[in-house]
Structure 1
Amino acid sequence: MFSKILIANRGEIACRVIKTARKMGIATVAVYSEADRDALHVKMADEAVAIGPAPSSQSYLSIDAILKAIRNTGADAVHPGYGFLSENPVFAQALEREGVVFLGPPVGAIEAMGDKITSKKLAAEAGVSTVPGHMGLIEDADEAATISASIGYPVMIKASAGGGGKGMRIAWDDEEARDGFRASKSEAKNSFGDDRIFIEKFVEQPRHIEIQVLGDQHGNIVYLGERECSIQRRNQKVIEEAPSPFLDAGTRKAMGEQAVALAKAVGYFSAGTVEFIVDGNRNFYFLEMNTRLQVEHPVTELVTGLDLVEQMIRVAAGEKLSFGQDDVKLNGWAIESRLYAEDPYRNFLPSTGRLSRYRPPTEGGLTDGTIIRNDTGVYEGGEISIYYDPMIAKLCSWGEDRASAIAAMARALNDFEVEGVGNNLPFLSAVMDHARFQDGRLTTAFIAEEFPDGFHGVTPDAAAAKRLAAVAGFINHKVQARAGEISGTIGYHRRVIGSDWVVSFGDMAYPVSIELQTGGGIVVGFNDGALFAVESNWKPGMTHAVFMVNGDEIGIKTELSGAAIRLRWSGIDLAVNVREPRVAELASLMPKKLPPDTSKMLLCPMPGVITSIRVKEGDQIEFGQALATVEAMKMENVLKAEKKTVVKRIAATLGQSLAVNELIMEFE
């Protein structure tokens, strides 16, 4: 067995590998860029080595820098994690020359499967079902449009060396094929240093389902069930689960056997994933094989009881698998939610900054029999950088069945506190409560179909509105009682707290009566006769608390913001006012403050760099016309005109770094 493993990666996956290595008694070495000097993986490892400046091309992608770190620390094995150099055959070969073991598959398998064009040809030869498409090289945008038309729209334009949703576009006509080809080619070159593009038929009503395979160096290969990864945004997975709510036993077996056949065809060992697209009739087609550990591997671990990182280490050390295919059993259900530093209210644009608050939910086995797991690489006070992937954490839940896993995830999301950067917690909560998700009626178009105009928060239904109004009444009573106690201690008469109040938010206003109960709880009565008994340990200053509302336990994020009480729960975000009746009457007469008019401005929607400006001052522009491109976290975002107008002034310059809402151009 190895004595010291260097992790050629960062963030949560580096921390994940360190945990398993520590459990196995293996020392670990972390590498870090200047931007990651204070990162969590650096603090967790036994040793840490600086490898270069913040840009990944000068640090985490620098083979020379990592080889130097290996030599200086005496590491005898390297785990590449995912991304960066994990599927780089040149890196694997360099390690082999150094006499250092690569904790992954053989170089030949990486080369064969790393090129999407080659991998599809090999898959077809191995008897794996593949999507119709053009696997040859494409010279220019016009040829891309011609090929796309011959395949039949819609088509998927993909980078040959792509991954993580980068270099991928869907085209529905010739114009989109040309634009998609150019964008994918540019994005692929910037992200992978390889701008080759191929085109394949886009399967409508598709599900993205992948098979986890694991093999040793003695010819034994098994599949460990499937993961449903259909909840995606911009081709980036957001929520995954194992098993799939769609597959039957026969389809699972057929997909698993094809995945194993492909792995055997390329002499594969270690952990790997074969990805398929599945249509509504359970026909499945090969997409690609990822020759590394997947981001979503924890859900497979939760339903199989296996530690995939440990298996990778043991396989690399020459050990045989200790089990066969018949020993693989899927137990219960697991769900993973990817918590990203992105603003769901601004079309999920990346967010950067310092985590002023980071309080994950309690991990481990819970009293109801469910399990919560949180894989993360950040901590409170740490910074989300512009240089790397915006993932904050991978929150996982396990239950005996899908319904209990969803319920556990919903509770954990409500208990997860993240402040300081925009994040997608409210959106993830909204998905957990969505009827279509709960029913398992998923496709890769789920987000686009269910949130066509973007995410604007969840509007509470009548029951949720009253429940939250009752919680606000409880909080207000505690605040008033505390103020009364203070007034009594400084020589004034103790304030008398009235029983009649008006709870309002948005266009809703609820006159309520509040009755104090023995033990500190209250009963909130509404005009229609509804009664809500509320108990909690909440005190002023608490940012999260558990409230018992008519016997139901709910975790709510709370904040006293001026005269308002901010409540966040299950994707709902309310600023609630609790006022005495006369004050509420007067407040209703106050004019509402209108937001500033930005209709004649193009503002930068995220922190990023202007990589192109496609118009000039004085140009007449049409609706939907591309105006500028902003690059953030290696993703290109094309900003388009929202109406027909004329460019009055261009304020930004090519290559300029802009903050959120900084002016790019003005219109007449």
Structure 2
Amino acid sequence: MFSKILIANRGEIACRVIRTAQKMGISCVAVYSDVDQDAVHVEMAEEAIALGGKTPRESYLDISKIMKAIKDSGAEAVHPGYGFLSENPEFASSLQKAGIALIGPSLKAIEAMGDKLRARKIAEEAQVNIIPGTPDSITQLNDAKGWAEKIGYPLMVKASAGGGGKGMRIVRDLHTLEESIKSAQNEARSSFGDERVFIEKYIENPRHIEIQVLGDKHGNIIHLGERECSLQRRHQKVIEEAPSSFITPEIREAMGAQAVALAARVGYDSAGTVEFVMGRDRKFYFLEMNTRLQVEHPVTEAITGYDLVEEMIRIAAGEKLRISQKDVTFKGHSFESRIYAEDPTREFLPSSGRLVYYRLPPTDENLRIDTGVKEGDEISNFYDPMIAKVITHGNSREEARFKMMQALDASYIRGISTNTAFLSRLLNQPQVIAGDLSTHLIEELFPQGDTGEVTHDKTLFLSVAAVVHWIVEGEAKSTLSHPEQYVIQFQGTFHPVKLIPQLDYIMITGDEWTVSLKTNWEPSRFLMTAEYNGCSICVQVERNDPSEIKLIWYGQRAILKVFSPEVAELLKRMPPKIKPDFSRLVMSPMPGLVVDLHVHVGQAIKMGQPVAVIEAMKMENIIRAEREGVIEEVFVQKGQSVNVDQQLARIG
């Protein structure tokens, strides 16, 4: 067994690998960029080596710097995590030449499966179901048009290298084909240093199902069942679960057999994932193989009881697989939610800044949190926006889902925008509760992002707001012994509410409703835990001014204002404020880098036409005009960094 390993990664996955390695008695070496010098993974490791630079290309993607760090530290093996160099054959080759073990598959397997075009051919040879597509990468637009006509729309343009949703575009007609190919190539070049793309048939309303495989250096290969990864947006997974509620035992056996056959074909010897796309008819097709540890591996660990990182380390050290196929059993159900630094109200655009508050719920045997940041850390534009993963386990799918919603509601993160409320809201959608999933479901349910508007149980928000205001006022008046009447402004209307204190709870009455609420909440707390009509709830509470209260519960966000009846009567007579018109201005919805400009002064422009491309957190975002007109002024230039809401152009 190794005595020292280097983790060639950052963030939560570096921390996760370090935890297992240290549990095994292995010393860990961390590497870090200038941005990450105070990061959690640096603090956790026994040693840490500076790579310098800020961007991935200047640090975690620089093979020469990583190799020097390995040599300087004396590490015997390297765990690459996911992303960055985890599936890079040049890096694997460099390790092989230096006599350093890769805690991952062989160079042969990485080369075979890392190129999606070659992987398709090998899968076909291994008698794995494949989707119709181009046999080689697309180099000429005319070739792309010819293949598109032959295969038929809709199509998927995909990067030949890499994964994680980068370099992928759905194309529904000829008019967007060229733009999609160019954008996918740019994103692939930026993320993987390889701009090759290919085209394949796009399966409408598909499910994304993947099989976890494990192989050793002695020819033993098994699978650990499937993960349901259909809840995605922009081709990136958001919530995963295991097992899939859609898969029958017979399909699981067939998919598992094909995954093992493909792994055997390339002599796979580590943890890996074979991804499939599945239609509503339950027919499945090979998508790709990821020759690394997946972000969502914890749900498999939760239902099988195996530590995949430990198995990877043991396999890399030459040990035989300790698990046979007959040993693999599944216990209960598990969900994983990815907490991203993004703003759901701005169509999920990236968010950066300082973590002013970072308070996550306490973990237990059925709640696990993997994270690589701490309160006070700066979330930069240079890296992936995922800051944490919340993993729950239950005896049933419903138990695991409900526990996840509770954990998300109890996650209080401020200073940046995150998707925690959205994740809770998503889990409460009827389709998700029923397990009726597809990779399109999020864009169907939230085509313009998530406003978080309260759609059910408005009484809860009125009740909590009234009680919060009452408790705060009670602190000042030192009495809560008599009824209080308030008028609450909520969703554009005024609601009279009366609070009547009882022995150990508060009775709240409104127009034709009465509820009870029991809590020990104090004004200094961010979370209100309470019994609402006998049911346990956890509501996030913020007070922006004496009358305004912001509440978040089950993914619903509400701002309420509480007034005395006299003040409310006066407010009803006030004229409404007229909102300023910003429709002539094209503004950046996120901080980032202008990588392309599509307009110039004097140019006529139509609604929906691209104005600029902003790169943030390794993703390209096309900013489009929201009205017709003529470009009167352009305020930025290519290569310039911009802030959120910074003006890019003005349309006359």
TM-score range for the pair, normalised by the shorter chain length: over 0.9
**Structure 1 residues 597 and 322, CA, compared in 2 at 3 Å: closer, same or farther?**
same
In 2, Cα distance between equivalents of 1:427 and 1:540: 25
Alignment of structure 1 residues 576-655 onto 2, 5 Å: 576-655=560-639
CA apart distance, 1:47: 0.9
Number of residue pairs matched? Answer: 651
Is 2:393 the partner of 1:398? yes
In structure 2, the residue matched to 1:454 is 449
In 2, Cα distance between equivalents of 1:420 and 1:568: 16
CA apart distance, 1:496: 9.0
Work out whether residues 370 and 388 of structure 2, in 8 Å CA contact, stay in contact via their aligned partners in 1.
yes
In structure 2, the residue matched to 1:507 is 492
Query: Secondary structure in 1 aligned to 2:122?
Result: helix
In 2, Cα distance between equivalents of 1:497 and 1:651: 59
Work out whether residues 607 and 632 of structure 1, in 8 Å CA contact, stay in contact via their aligned partners in 2.
yes
Which amino acid in structure 2 is aligned with residue 641 of structure 1?
A: A
Correspondent of 2:466 among 473, 480, 485: 473
In structure 2, the residue matched to 1:13 is 13
In 1, Cα distance between equivalents of 2:213 and 2:279: 22
Work out whether residues 6 and 78 of structure 1, in 8 Å CA contact, stay in contact via their aligned partners in 2.
yes
Alignment of structure 1 residues 426-441 onto 2, 5 Å: 426-441=421-436
Query: Secondary structure in 2 aligned to 1:301?
Result: helix
In 2, Cα distance between equivalents of 1:49 and 1:152: 51
Work out whether residues 142 and 178 of structure 1, in 8 Å CA contact, stay in contact via their aligned partners in 2.
no
In 2, Cα distance between equivalents of 1:117 and 1:160: 6
Alignment of structure 1 residues 72-87 onto 2, 5 Å: 72-87=72-87
CA apart distance, 1:468: 1.7
In structure 1, the residue matched to 2:540 is 557
Q: Alpha-carbon deviations, 1:350-391, whole Å to 9, x = none? A: 0100000001112113xxxxx111100000101111110011
In 2, Cα distance between equivalents of 1:73 and 1:210: 36
Which amino acid in structure 1 is aligned with residue 49 of structure 2?
A: V
Work out whether residues 480 and 497 of structure 1, in 8 Å CA contact, stay in contact via their aligned partners in 2.
no
Q: Alpha-carbon deviations, 1:232-257, whole Å to 9, x = none? A: 11111111110111110111110000
Segment of structure 1 superposing worse, 655-664 or 185-194 = 185-194
Backbone CA RMSD of aligned residues: 1.3
Query: Secondary structure in 1 aligned to 2:530?
Result: strand
In 2, Cα distance between equivalents of 1:166 and 1:513: 53
Segment of structure 1 superposing worse, 2-11 or 631-640 = 631-640
In structure 2, the residue matched to 1:490 is none
Alignment of structure 1 residues 190-269 onto 2, 5 Å: 190-269=190-269
In 2, Cα distance between equivalents of 1:595 and 1:87: 50
Work out whether residues 141 and 182 of structure 1, in 8 Å CA contact, stay in contact via their aligned partners in 2.
no
Query: Secondary structure in 1 aligned to 2:459?
Result: helix
CA apart distance, 1:637: 1.2
Gaps of 5+ in 1: 366-370, 486-493
In 1, Cα distance between equivalents of 2:566 and 2:648: 47
**Structure 1 residues 275 and 598, CA, compared in 2 at 3 Å: closer, same or farther?**
same
In 1, Cα distance between equivalents of 2:98 and 2:139: 39
In 2, Cα distance between equivalents of 1:398 and 1:151: 42
In structure 1, the residue matched to 2:282 is 282
Segment of structure 1 superposing worse, 252-261 or 641-650 = 641-650
In 1, Cα distance between equivalents of 2:594 and 2:106: 40
CA apart distance, 1:29: 0.7
Query: Secondary structure in 1 aligned to 2:251?
Result: helix
In 2, Cα distance between equivalents of 1:531 and 1:139: 67
Q: Alpha-carbon deviations, 1:241-290, whole Å to 9, x = none? A: 10111110111110000000000000001100000000111100001000
In 1, Cα distance between equivalents of 2:86 and 2:247: 30
Which amino acid in structure 1 is aligned with residue 501 of structure 2?
A: L
Work out whether residues 481 and 497 of structure 1, in 8 Å CA contact, stay in contact via their aligned partners in 2.
no
Is 2:546 the partner of 1:542? no
Q: Alpha-carbon deviations, 1:128-172, whole Å to 9, x = none? A: 000001121322223212211111000100110131111111111
Work out whether residues 610 and 625 of structure 2, in 8 Å CA contact, stay in contact via their aligned partners in 1.
yes
Work out whether residues 211 and 273 of structure 1, in 8 Å CA contact, stay in contact via their aligned partners in 2.
yes
In structure 1, the residue matched to 2:475 is 482
Work out whether residues 61 and 84 of structure 1, in 8 Å CA contact, stay in contact via their aligned partners in 2.
yes
In structure 1, the residue matched to 2:124 is 124
Alignment of structure 1 residues 177-196 onto 2, 5 Å: 177-196=177-196
CA apart distance, 1:539: 0.8
Work out whether residues 241 and 335 of structure 1, in 8 Å CA contact, stay in contact via their aligned partners in 2.
yes
Work out whether residues 480 and 501 of structure 2, in 8 Å CA contact, stay in contact via their aligned partners in 1.
no
Query: Secondary structure in 2 aligned to 1:606?
Result: coil
CA apart distance, 1:22: 1.2
Work out whether residues 335 and 405 of structure 1, in 8 Å CA contact, stay in contact via their aligned partners in 2.
yes
Work out whether residues 604 and 631 of structure 2, in 8 Å CA contact, stay in contact via their aligned partners in 1.
yes
Query: Secondary structure in 1 aligned to 2:93?
Result: helix
Segment of structure 1 superposing worse, 474-483 or 141-150 = 141-150
In 2, Cα distance between equivalents of 1:11 and 1:281: 39
Work out whether residues 33 and 52 of structure 2, in 8 Å CA contact, stay in contact via their aligned partners in 1.
yes
In 1, Cα distance between equivalents of 2:15 and 2:558: 36
Is 2:374 the partner of 1:379? yes
Work out whether residues 483 and 501 of structure 2, in 8 Å CA contact, stay in contact via their aligned partners in 1.
no
Query: Secondary structure in 1 aligned to 2:211?
Result: strand
Work out whether residues 207 and 442 of structure 1, in 8 Å CA contact, stay in contact via their aligned partners in 2.
yes
Work out whether residues 484 and 496 of structure 1, in 8 Å CA contact, stay in contact via their aligned partners in 2.
no
In 1, Cα distance between equivalents of 2:320 and 2:38: 38
CA apart distance, 1:453: 2.8
Work out whether residues 567 and 574 of structure 1, in 8 Å CA contact, stay in contact via their aligned partners in 2.
yes
CA apart distance, 1:495: 10
If the length of structure 2 is used for normalisation, what is the TM-score? 0.98
Which amino acid in structure 1 is aligned with residue 416 of structure 2?
A: V
In 2, Cα distance between equivalents of 1:329 and 1:590: 66
CA apart distance, 1:432: 0.9
Gaps of 5+ in 2: none
In 1, Cα distance between equivalents of 2:354 and 2:145: 44
In structure 1, the residue matched to 2:501 is 516
Correspondent of 1:533 among 516, 521, 524: 516
Segment of structure 1 superposing worse, 89-98 or 589-598 = 589-598
CA apart distance, 1:84: 0.6
CA apart distance, 1:502: 1.6
In structure 2, the residue matched to 1:419 is 414
Work out whether residues 482 and 501 of structure 2, in 8 Å CA contact, stay in contact via their aligned partners in 1.
no
Query: Secondary structure in 1 aligned to 2:161?
Result: strand
Query: Secondary structure in 2 aligned to 1:163?
Result: coil
If the length of structure 1 is used for normalisation, what is the TM-score? 0.96
CA apart distance, 1:497: 6.2
In 1, Cα distance between equivalents of 2:600 and 2:466: 55
Runs of 4+ that moved beyond 6 A = 494-497
Work out whether residues 430 and 458 of structure 1, in 8 Å CA contact, stay in contact via their aligned partners in 2.
no
In 1, Cα distance between equivalents of 2:566 and 2:295: 55
In 2, Cα distance between equivalents of 1:319 and 1:590: 76
Query: Secondary structure in 2 aligned to 1:36?
Result: coil
